[in-house]
Amino acid sequence: MTTAIVCAYSSVGHEALAGLLEAGINVQALYTYPQRPDEAWFTPPAALAQKHGIAVHMEKDFNSDRVYRSIAAMAPDFLFSFYFREMIHQRYLDLPKKGAYNLHGSLLPAYRGRAPINWVLVKGETATGITLHTMTAKPDDGDIIGQTPLPIAWDETALSLTLRSAAAARTLVKALVPGLVDGTAKRIPQKSLGPSTYFGGRSPEDGRLDLTHPLHEAFNLVRAVADPWPNAFLETDRGMVKVAWALPSASTCPQGHFREGREGILLGFRDGALRIHTLRKEGIRSERPSVHAVWLRELGIPEAK
């Protein structure tokens, strides 16, 4: 039976591992991470591995000599990386007899790097996808084995896009693995598909809203870091409030102001307004416009008359 070592995390990692098992691969071990309390929205790959009797390892230093010797002793046919957080060193990539492969959350060569699902929303893309490719020592490098395109809805959030990417990952991995096993899988050099783009990691600070920016930029940021991500936020010298959800409004509100009306609270940007649906402040979540108005006044944001 064909064997593999899997390095995986997240909902995408869970579903990709499921696709690998459905393709009949004998997974010898899973390398993953402990699930944080704020990640309870998805089932981790470890749960699936344990259900199938697969050994689960959570290593602080995956690239250590000890882990390397352990994987080398298993002599796997494949090594797969499904949303693993660490760059895997070249000596690991040289171990599997049939190659090492990574699953990335964009249509490579576009959006190499960290957090591609969040970045495509921040940038207002209308389509993205997932890619299985050969691994090299460079991030998200190597020939493409297969891709699945995914349209992006105008109100798509990072959560909805992640869940759709996870489902697509399961199908893609299951479909491509037989060709990897028998050696018939085609390989497409990334450079043949055009220039690459790269984006780095994101931090909660990147969710800062600027009321001087265009409306579409503000909305794209809100949906890119909506729950369960840390949320976009407004901050002044008087404090901070998180904008958990908001939608563009056809009504107007002056830039830098808020307006309280029949449809709730409007927040004005350069060329339009967001209708606030949910705010958070100091751990308190509210969908009440009256509370929103109080919080925005406390920040010193002027009210439009």
Residue ranges covered by each domain of the chain: 3-199, 204-298
Strands, E, within 138-271: which ranges?
144-151, 198-199, 232-236, 239-249, 258-261, 264-269
Distance of CA 303 to the CA centre of its chain: 36
pLDDT average, residue stretch 202-227: 97
DSSP one-letter code for 303: B
pLDDT, residue 263, reads 87
Q: Strands 144-151 and 127-134, how do they pair?
A: antiparallel
pLDDT digits (tens, 9 = 90+) for 9-53: 999 999 999 999 999 999 999 999 999 999 999 999 999 999 999
pLDDT digits (tens, 9 = 90+) for 50-67: 999 999 999 999 999 999
Grouping H, G, I as helix, E, B as strand and the rest as coil, residue 74 is helix
pLDDT, residue 249, reads 97
Banded pLDDT at 181 (limits 50, 70, 90)? very high
The number of C-alpha atoms within 13 Å of 169 and in the hemisphere containing its C-beta is 31
Third-level CATH fold of 3-199: Rossmann fold (3.40.50)
pLDDT, residue 187, reads 97
Banded pLDDT at 305 (limits 50, 70, 90)? confident
Q: Specify the pTM.
A: 0.95
Domain boundaries 204-298, CATH class = alpha beta
Q: Strands 26-31 and 55-57, how do they pair?
A: parallel
pLDDT average, residue stretch 95-105: 98
Cβ pair 114, 39 in contact under 8 A: no
Question: Does the pLDDT at position 303 exceed 90?
Answer: yes
Percent of the chain whose predicted confidence (pLDDT) is above 90: 97
| Cα gap 305→289, rounded to integer Å | 16
Question: Does the pLDDT at position 8 exceed 90?
Answer: yes
